[in-house]
Structure 1
């Protein structure tokens, strides 16, 4: 099986997507060992390094575990949180795509959106509209995190660093979505950003008002050079967040439906009351 030469995605992304689909559809059963690296490289007609990068993606998503000297195995309980990416891509199969995010910087969302947006560019996904709302912390005032380890002291340089990370990723999402509208690939595009005076200690994604993903940010001690000075501080680590998925079903009284309803109600209430546009 060779890869699609017309697919604009990198080969390792195509391989990870193919393997992900086989895992989620149970063609590879929980606990089953995947073919070896050389076998996968031969099967897809790619280099061993390409396979390694593809497997790393699946490992980061929690779909597989890799055991030194033994190979890669489908995680025994694939019903556990498996990451945002495959569900986000599924959300783009709808005509009206809505994404609401509340969290620290939207970095994970920015990265996860690239694959479905690439598929929109190539015509593999054809939504009519994309609407994104980002609810982020206001970094212009003191925050619970990031904060210096020494006496939990506030440091404007740390907040400026957090601001730059958030602006970079929000700007990346805005540009990627607006380009699709400029090219005429979608009819309407909207990316809005608001901030609020609270530190984000959790992240929330709501996709198409029917799926909610919630996770707590673990706090870690970090040391990084800022303006030539090493800073040791506590910060959130979004890449270590385990997401729990809740889906609205046909029964409005089900636990999943109620969770999505309440999550959407919370997001809308904050967005409409205490959230405001970031000062330029």
Structure 2
């Protein structure tokens, strides 16, 4: 069995979720014994995976997964030949982080896509001991205070449980992102204390928007689909807003021309976000109001 086949098998197991981001792989000796090959063959396969940024290797240490591939069913949601939100976000976040500064302004329903993609990238930052000058994320989320809205049950549009479900998902994502940022500070991988700010609007956006380092814009659209989701302990048919499968389109500021259409587009997107950010509710205020 050649190193190429070993690499494909390891890559496949990572893609299937057997070894997630941050997981240490079995030792080279253990993998060599499992696959019935020489240790040198496994070593070569791991070096190739490391060059692709999928794992990090260090002398005398087990390799660590830094960028888990998306599960096949998630990759397929982007459509044939069209990568989904997580894959595209991961690629562009990786480039932004390579600049040493990460500023993200995001308008989205729950930020689940952003947080999942960013957590994977930050695992790589920690594993490689990269250092950032700044880490600042502003999230503009939906608090689902306005009704009627989506998602909604097909048989009972007034049932608020689907809205409560997404509000919980949003809250969990905020907690996860905050913890990831604190970890950067704990490991002294950022020059100034990381900042995560969150505000809310009372309606779900029909499009998602990400502005990276005030230099690049990614945007896509939420699709309204009917699907089965667990609500209140039972599977229910929902008219749901689907964002994980959204195709993202990118515009990057022209390196020289401020009046270039792409530069103007980035500026307009930033102004759009800032206008809504200035009118949004501090995170938690409208959520508390909704519970009363």
**Fold match (TM-score > 0.5):** yes
Which of the numbers 166, 176, 186 marks the counterpart of 1:162?
166
Give the equivalent residue in structure 1 for 2:232.
227
Q: Is the 8 A contact 2:199 2:280 kept in 1?
A: no
Q: Is the 8 A contact 1:216 1:242 kept in 2?
A: yes
Number of equivalences: 231
Question: Given the superposition, is the C-alpha separation of residues 260 and 198 from structure 1 closer, same or farther in structure 2, using an over 3 Å criterion?
Answer: same
Q: CA deviation at 1:179?
A: 1.5
Q: Superposition pairs for residues 57-206 of structure 1, below 5 Å?
A: 60=75, 83-150=88-155, 153-187=157-191, 188-206=193-211
Q: Is 2:256 aligned against 1:261?
A: no
Give the equivalent residue in structure 1 for 2:246.
241
CA distance in 2, matches of 1:247, 1:119: 24
- The alignment partner of 2:163 has SS state of helix
- The alignment partner of 2:137 has SS state of strand
**What is the TM-score with the length of structure 2 in the denominator?**
0.68
Tell me whether 240-249 or 175-184 shows the greater mean CA deviation. Answer: 175-184
CA distance in 2, matches of 1:247, 1:148: 39
* Unaligned 5+ runs, structure 1: 3-10, 17-40, 66-74
CA distance in 2, matches of 1:166, 1:55: 21
CA distances 1:39-70 after superposition (whole Å, capped 9, x unpaired): xx976259xxx9xx8585798289996xxxxx
Give the equivalent residue in structure 1 for 2:58.
none
CA distance in 2, matches of 1:106, 1:274: 16
Q: Alpha carbon RMSD of aligned pairs, Å?
A: 3.5
CA distance in 1, matches of 2:73, 2:230: 32
Displaced runs of 4+ in structure 1, greater than 6 A?
61-65
CA distance in 2, matches of 1:117, 1:157: 33
Question: Given the superposition, is the C-alpha separation of residues 56 and 150 from structure 1 closer, same or farther in structure 2, using an over 3 Å criterion?
Answer: closer
- The alignment partner of 1:122 has SS state of helix
**What is the TM-score with the length of structure 1 in the denominator?**
0.71
* Unaligned 5+ runs, structure 2: 4-9, 16-40, 48-54, 56-67
Question: Given the superposition, is the C-alpha separation of residues 248 and 229 from structure 1 closer, same or farther in structure 2, using an over 3 Å criterion?
Answer: same
Q: Is the 8 A contact 2:146 2:203 kept in 1?
A: no
- The alignment partner of 1:179 has SS state of helix
Q: CA deviation at 1:200?
A: 1.8
Give the equivalent residue in structure 2 for 1:33.
none
Q: CA deviation at 1:96?
A: 2.6
Q: Superposition pairs for residues 213-224 of structure 1, below 5 Å?
A: 213-224=218-229
Q: Is the 8 A contact 1:178 1:190 kept in 2?
A: no
